Structure 1
């Protein structure tokens, strides 16, 4: 009997079941604990705008209608449910203001908030609840891939303590739901291929539709599925391939109404997504290195820094001490996995997990290398890859346990326990943190709030760009007394003399350049974000002697 058959027929040892059940229990605790502790980031603030039923156009109009300074409390109604507006208004927000995000999650969170509240804790609790569905989903996929309950148990353990999984479980966005749909659709496809029944293909169709209406990158998952089916059918036009094509086309046609929305509002979609195209890492080796470092964060993450900061010479020695071993570990892991699967007995279904992670991941990297941008470095876009890696690592470790020589068994057992411990250490760090490195704006919002709270009568200058308004929406949760001044780049506005501390979150406005030249003010740079012009600058009124 070969090793894959041993692996398939083996029952999970009792110690493993007990350990994984404990880890899942701890994972559930970490997912629901301190839901309101971390900074409510800009993306999450836009989620609150969506469920409020208001639109970005209304928000901009609200700002422009005020003459002189504006109390930040005017943003409150855009962060809470309006009882006079409903689910239709939430969908209207997405259509007019954020069309690149399909409506399924936002409809769900709107209905959820009506029952459990629209506070950060209430809104985030939906993501935490959805994240629990990842456990049965990954177990089912492991059974379909390898017919191995042991791999399923280890994969559930890794996901239970994965710091990356924990972060998305506490973010008021759609990514926990998308991960569930990636796993379930992949398992449903394997089931439909193995058992050619209409009911199985119907389940696969349903998962694709739900996935497409959660995240548009589900199209990449569908293409990876299609490549697998073509290879699995040995490039022949079979009934299985026909069924896949019919189901995929039908699912895509179901998305057609939202595709019309995107095309109709293409300028809005491009405006909101252009930031990742503007950001650029000129050295391709740096891009690949950062990508590889982030791979390790699915297993171990101490929240030391954003990896981009390391390569921008903004990191201190402690950050480099973390990043260099992470890069070496990631390279070693990828080389070993490639060597392992090149030598192991062929398993047709295992090809799917490589395509599921590899196709979207490589496509994003190649796109960045050719056209510029940092899409491949956004962890939320690489979730198919990260899920695949967790499953592959679980499979390789379990496979090694069933080596013929007994002393070999202990090594993968120690590695499994070590990975579980690394995940728990990361979770404990996450439990204590107020911000996580994946929230690129979280630390900035926190420091901005601290500086403004320490100032007497601060005035914050804003504009009506979506990025700037997103930051102000987030600050509105923490700065109830600050006054705002709207400024347009094409005209200069007078500032009342009773404001001695004036702050800018961007340094490219006409008023900013005017104040730079004003000898009655001194300029202090508080923080500069990458890429510019974002940051925080403070102008202090010079006392006349």
Structure 2
């Protein structure tokens, strides 16, 4: 790979340009997208409150304004950093605390705004670039070409942009995967180079670094355990399944990393057994997608992410094109590189995704919410494609090189277009059940004095929090407990009901003699609009004219 050691000046300038564009995309329009349910849970954890505490204080059959949610959406003087950790341990132990600790400290400095909390992920995403450089340097032993192309691809990758602009731990998880993988490769390379000298201090330091980065990765996202399994399989493959000194040292370093994670593992296991013996189990509805179309779509989103629905012929063509590119990249890297190179990429792509795919092969469907778990696979795919493009820019005849220049240009154009559209969009596919919230907010905001009624059952709790970021101050919330019949004041011109059960909605409709219209509906939830009948409206107007003082006294919570 001597021809890959130094990149020509045009490639260096291209890498710098794409890196600059990637950074600009990451910090562009941070507060423009829907602050969706999972992000509101992040802010809730940062606040130190549990979901039960928030429900008890908000969903108590009173009318409140949007400002009432602020207490549970960011750092506040009533709760400390220890409360943040304890709220995770009590109700959300599948999310380890590292990211939330960092986020709590971050918002204490920069504030609780959407821009502030998302800027943390955007800043963390910048660490991806030096980390991918180090990983490619250790894997391919070349200074720039492959590493530079990998940096360029990740800078404009729409899938990485999605998580770089989200108030969640996934972009930090990517950084920890890169660090632990690079430190592992470094340690194994030093084991080979220093086999005769046995310079123990150097080896001890780098293996200690692997143990630390593995522990950090586990404390970031629990799925790192399967990345560690991929590392273990890779070490065994390179050792040809012999119990060598490298294998023994690796096992010791991994054991130290997992022992450091034991305090949180005990909490996770305890919560799991408590769930098994509990009689109160909540059944969550998931959006199921056929496995192979889902995987094809996610693979394409690594490079291009605009309308890849199965109904769109162009989307299918683009998905097929990138499927061919990725397939050939993996074939190429397996054919031309040493097994110590390609086996690392294959294990990184395959092993972490198997626990997701295998259980769903029986049903043939997969949950749409599993996209973040594919981050290690995205990484392995991009490294394989980067190696293919970097090598083919210089190999073969002139016509062959020109062909690959065109392929690389198309990949870059797809990434730039996708990143531009995604960074400026108001909502995106990853917003899940809150994808339609901008449309819902627009409908409600058009009313003069709107009232939004909701209970805390199912996903309604998170939907209300997400909508509160988009609704105007004039909107009031009547949050009820256990679908009680709400007391609706006559002073509201329009009454909206968020995702009610049909029985509950009909009871309210009958009691108040409302006319009902479903003004919004998708796969996740619906919005009902209640309008007073003409006779009832005439009576209410007369009543309001006679008793203005009484109404203003009773509704003291309203401004």
Give the Å deviation of 1:359: 1.4
The equivalent of 2:447 in structure 1 is 455
**Bigger shift: residues 167-176 or 341-350:** 341-350
Deviates more, 1:114-123 or 1:413-422: 413-422
Q: How does 1:105-504 map to 2 (within 5 A)?
A: 105-148=99-142, 149-196=144-191, 197-266=203-272, 278-281=286-289, 286-302=290-306, 304=307, 307=309, 310=310, 320-341=312-333, 343-370=335-362, 374-375=366-367, 378-465=370-457, 467-479=459-471, 480-489=473-482, 491-499=484-492, 501-504=494-497
d(CA) in 1 for partners of 2:295, 2:50: 35
What are the ranges of 5 or more consecutive residues in structure 1 without an aligned counterpart? 311-318
Q: What is the aligned partner in structure 2 of residue 63 from structure 1? A: 58
* Cα distance, 1:268–1:484 mapped onto 2, change above 3 Å: farther
State the distance in 1 between where 2:463 and 2:205 align.
Answer: 47
* Structure 1 residues 360-415: Cα deviation after superposition (integer angstroms, max 9, x where no partner): 22331222223676347632111111111111100111222342423322222222
Q: TM-score, normalised by structure 1?
A: 0.89
Aligned partner of residue 374 in structure 1, secondary structure: strand
The alpha carbon displacement at 1:495 in A equals: 3.5
Q: What is the rounded CA distance, in whole Å, between the counterparts of 2:341 and 2:3 in structure 1?
A: 15
Secondary structure, in 3 states, of the residue corresponding to 1:11? Answer: coil
Contact between 1:430 and 1:436, CA under 8 Å: does it hold in 2? Answer: yes
Residue 455 of structure 2 contacts residue 483 of structure 2 at CA under 8 Å; is this kept in 1? no
Which blocks of at least 5 consecutive residues in structure 2 are unaligned? 192-202, 539-559
Q: Deviations over 1:256-303 (max 9, x none)?
A: 11122223333898999977774434xxxx33112202211111123x
Judged with a 3 Å threshold, the aligned counterparts in structure 2 of structure 1 residues 358 and 30 are, in CA distance, closer, same or farther, namely same
Question: Given the alignment, which residue of 67, 70, 77 partners 1:73?
Answer: 67
The two structures, once aligned, show a CA RMSD in angstroms of 2.6
1:441 shift after superposition: 3.8
1:304-354 deviation line (CA, Å, top 9, x unaligned): 37x4xx5xxxxxxxx613432133224323442354345435442221111
Once the 2 structures are TM-superposed, how far is the Cα of residue 16 of structure 1 from its aligned partner? 0.5
- Rg comparison, structure with higher value: 2
**Structure 1 Cα separation of the partners of residues 274 and 301 of structure 2:** 33
> What secondary structure sits across from 1:378 in the alignment?
helix
**Structure 2 residue matching 1:370: 3-state secondary structure:** coil
1:507 equivalenced with 2:500 (yes/no)? yes
Whole-Å Cα distance in 2 between the matches of residues 252 and 274 of structure 1? 31
Cα separation, partners in 2 of 1:376 and 1:242, compared to 1, 3 Å: farther
The CA distance in 1 between the partners of 2:408 and 2:482, in whole Å, is 57
530, 535, 538: which one pairs with 1:539? 530
Q: How many positions carry a matched residue from both structures?
A: 521
The aligned residue for residue 315 of structure 1 is none
SS in 1 for 2:312: helix
- SS of 1:502's equivalent in the other structure is strand
CA 1:542–1:373: 2 relative to 1, 3 Å: farther
2:27 corresponding residue in structure 1: 32
Separation of aligned partners in 1, 2:231 and 2:408: 29
- Tell me if structure 2 keeps the 8 A contact 1:277–1:372: no
TM-score, normalised by the number of residues in structure 2: 0.86
State the 1:91 CA deviation: 0.7
